[in-house]
Amino acid sequence: MNPDDDVKGRQVAPDLCSFELTRSDRTPLFRQLYLQLRAAILSRRLRPGTKLPSTRELALQLGVSRSAAVAAYEQLLAEGYTSGRHGSGTYVSPDLPEAIDGNPQRRGKPAAAMASTARPQSIGDFVDVTAQGDERPFNLGRTLLDARTVELWRKLSARTFRSLSPSHFGYSDPRGTIELRNAICDYLQAARAVRCDPDQIVVTAGTQQAVDIVIRILPNRDKEVWVEDPGYPLTREALLAAGATVRPIPVDGQGIDVRAGIASAPNARAVFVTPSHQFPTGVVLSMARRLELLAWARQKQAWIVEDDYASEFRYGGRPLASLQGLDQGERVIYVGTLNKALFPGLRLGYAVVPRALLRAFVAARYLMDRQPSTISQAVVAAFMEQGHFAAHIRRMRLLYRDQRDELVAALQSRLGADLTVTAPDQGMHLVAFTRRGLSDTAIERAGREHGVVVRAMSRLYVAAPTRSALVLGFSGHKRPTIIPAVERLAQVVEGLSKSRAPKRSARPGSPKRR
């Protein structure tokens, strides 16, 4: 009998027996197990389609609790490394690709080439700088602060001003203070599985500034880049304003279509993606697509800009691991923001920069804005170091989940015949697809006149076939405001439905009304 077979004749992966878990490590046992399983899958020691032992068997083999094995399996399943078969068990996902090499056209029929997006006449012609400041429901990107966070912020701000050091009165490191970079590094390693050290972290004013810096430092004069289609419009507009040649790549249920990108622009210098919660559709980039994207970037020496804009707010299970954490070749520039985790007025974000780009990135940051505010950094660093940031995220996650559920229930109750909506597992907005031929742009226009701000998803497409849907933010709008706003939205939709209904003709022989 093969020593790797159990008494029932099933194959037991020998790699699992060789795992080394230590209770002296600060990393929880379930995470150690998850990381070693993930490494075995990615290295192909566990091949696609391999059946994994049950959680009970694995716990006995490794001498850990069954709950640790269950948690590790759940995380692998959520991130697409494994798949479950009802009544059969857990298997390594069968659709994980081999590394892409050679001519990408050999992997399948190439998609039609995407046209480059036309450049605007002037920046002022296509950026509406007033839209973001609209506080009405259901505008996007809004956050809330509870009384506990507000009080802590006041205390830490007062303490910072009482103990101003000479460092606050002069120039400092353009990357940001070492205290804040240390705090961000610890957070990203623990919460997002990001590979980094504090020297690689550059504090920015937010995602937009990080994107601007990336496009400035891309090598080669022909700055051809991929963007998601549909995608975040400000990223695309910033790239266009910087003179990039933008190639819109379609998004489907697995995220950005990597093969379509290779067919459209195989030698692009960079790709800008939102893999954990694609904007606006909310889909998660599948594990197969993640590995395809990393393989293409390694082969072409291209850069992947991972915009992880709302990773903190996941409502079903633990946050998904970052794309950057899978990157063995340092091709991913990881971009995050504190403006959505805390509040937009903070104007602080960060980038984790590969070492090959670090010097150029820091130099561009210095030339653009010299340095971030040391006082704001000091307050945020203290907030994170003292554990307040993690506690704030936990409280907001519960609050935003309740607001999401309230909005979904209200939409389904009041507009179920006109909109199809499901609760997203992550993020700060949801998508409601229109039914019965309703126009999302017409609802968007009429909604503003009735005090409701919704985004027409069809406007966010460039070249891909559009879908009519409404994008509604739920994170920054308190529960008492949600139902009245949905009622106003329902009145808008009902009015548009009536205007579209065919008019009845008079019955033959009936007198005409004068």
Tens digit of each residue's pLDDT (9 = 90 or more) over 384-408: 999 999 999 999 999 999 999 999 9
Domain end, chosen from 92, 109, 138, is at: 92
pLDDT at 463 (0 to 100): 94
pLDDT band at 13 (very low <50, low <70, confident <90, very high): low
Average pLDDT rounded to a whole number, residues 284-297: 95
Alpha-carbon distance of 31 to 69, in angstroms, equals: 9
Alpha-carbon distance of 309 to 111, in angstroms, equals: 29
What percentage of the chain has pLDDT greater than the value 70? 86
Average pLDDT rounded to a whole number, residues 221-225: 81
Alpha-carbon distance of 342 to 41, in angstroms, equals: 36
> Does residue 507 carry a pLDDT above 60?
no
Contacts of 153 (CB under 8 A, 6+ apart): 145, 379, 383
Q: Is 432 within a domain?
A: yes
Q: Is 86 within a domain?
A: yes
- Dihedral sign, Cα of residue 75, residue 78, residue 79, residue 83: positive
Please give the residue that has the higher pLDDT: either 294 or 41.
Answer: 294
Q: Mean pLDDT check: name the lowest of 320-324, 351-355, 430-434.
A: 320-324
CATH number at 466 reads: 3.90.1150.10
Alpha-carbon distance of 278 to 251, in angstroms, equals: 9
pLDDT at 103 (0 to 100): 40
pLDDT band at 104 (very low <50, low <70, confident <90, very high): very low
CATH number at 56 reads: 1.10.10.10
Q: How far apart are the first and last CA of the chain?
A: 96
Q: Is 469 within a domain?
A: yes
- Structure tokens that stand for 151 in this block: 């009080």
> Does residue 95 carry a pLDDT above 80?
no
pLDDT band at 514 (very low <50, low <70, confident <90, very high): very low
- Structure tokens that stand for 91 in this block: 């298997």
How many domains does one find in the chain? 2
Alpha-carbon distance of 513 to 500, in angstroms, equals: 23
β-strand 270-273 against 224-229: which pairing, if any?
parallel
Q: Mean pLDDT check: name the lowest of 97-111, 126-140, 150-164, 384-398.
A: 97-111
Q: Mean pLDDT check: name the lowest of 151-165, 184-198, 295-309, 488-502.
A: 488-502
> Does residue 511 carry a pLDDT above 60?
no
pLDDT band at 122 (very low <50, low <70, confident <90, very high): low
Q: Which helix (H) or strand (E) holds 358?
A: helix 355-369
What count of other Cβ atoms lies within 10 Å of the Cβ of residue 116?
A: 17
For the sheet containing 349-352, what is the strand order? 201-204, 349-352, 332-337, 303-307, 270-273, 224-229, 245-252, 255-256
pLDDT at 220 (0 to 100): 65
Q: Is 259 within a domain?
A: no
> Does residue 434 carry a pLDDT above 90?
yes
Contacts of 476 (CB under 8 A, 6+ apart): 139, 141, 142, 143, 144, 428
Q: Is 286 within a domain?
A: no
Contact (Cβ atoms closer than 8 angstroms) between residue 431 and residue 471? yes
Q: Which amino acid is located at 230 in the chain?
A: P
Q: Is 477 within a domain?
A: yes
> Does residue 129 carry a pLDDT above 80?
no
pLDDT at 87 (0 to 100): 73
- Structure tokens that stand for 293 in this block: 């994207």
- Residue of 182, 139, 183, 188 lying closest to 336 (CA atoms): 188
> Does residue 368 carry a pLDDT above 50?
yes
What percentage of the chain has pLDDT greater than the value 90? 62
pLDDT, tens digit, 9 for 90 and up, residues 167-211? 888 899 999 999 999 999 999 999 999 999 999 999 999 999 999
> Does residue 510 carry a pLDDT above 90?
no
Q: Mapping DSSP to helix (H, G, I), strand (E, B) and coil, where does residue 307 land?
A: strand
Assign 3-class secondary structure to 129-189: CCHHHCCCCCCCCCCCCCHHHHHHHHHHHHHHHHCCCHHHHCCCCCCCCHHHHHHHHHHHH
Q: Is 176 within a domain?
A: no
Instruction: Identify the DSSP state of 99.
Output: P
Domain end, chosen from 74, 92, 110, is at: 92
Alpha-carbon distance of 108 to 130, in angstroms, equals: 45
- Residue of 325, 297, 300, 299 lying closest to 311 (CA atoms): 325
Please give the residue that has the higher pLDDT: either 513 or 162.
Answer: 162
Average pLDDT rounded to a whole number, residues 282-306: 96
Please give the residue that has the higher pLDDT: either 501 or 509.
Answer: 501
Domain that holds residue 468: 391-500
Instruction: Kindly tell me the burial class for residue 318, based on how many C-beta atoms sit within 10 Å of its own C-beta (0-12, 13-18, 19 or more).
Output: middle
Mean pLDDT score across all residues of the chain: 86
Alpha-carbon distance of 79 to 183, in angstroms, equals: 26
pTM flag (> 0.85)? no
Average pLDDT rounded to a whole number, residues 100-112: 38
pLDDT at 98 (0 to 100): 61
Alpha-carbon distance of 355 to 330, in angstroms, equals: 8
- Structure tokens that stand for 32 in this block: 């150690």
> Does residue 425 carry a pLDDT above 80?
yes
Q: Is 496 within a domain?
A: yes
Q: Distance of alpha carbon 301 from its chain centroid, rounded?
A: 23
Q: Mean pLDDT check: name the lowest of 130-144, 240-254, 267-281.
A: 130-144
Distances (CA, A) of 206 to 37, 77, 349, 359: 34, 31, 4, 19
pLDDT band at 15 (very low <50, low <70, confident <90, very high): low
pLDDT at 228 (0 to 100): 98
pLDDT, tens digit, 9 for 90 and up, residues 452-499? 999 999 999 999 999 999 999 999 899 999 999 999 999 999 999 887
Contacts of 383 (CB under 8 A, 6+ apart): 152, 153, 156, 389, 392
> Does residue 243 carry a pLDDT above 90?
no
pLDDT at 376 (0 to 100): 96
pLDDT band at 29 (very low <50, low <70, confident <90, very high): confident
pLDDT at 416 (0 to 100): 95
Domain end, chosen from 65, 92, 119, is at: 92
pLDDT band at 363 (very low <50, low <70, confident <90, very high): very high
Instruction: Kindly tell me the burial class for residue 345, based on how many C-beta atoms sit within 10 Å of its own C-beta (0-12, 13-18, 19 or more).
Output: exposed
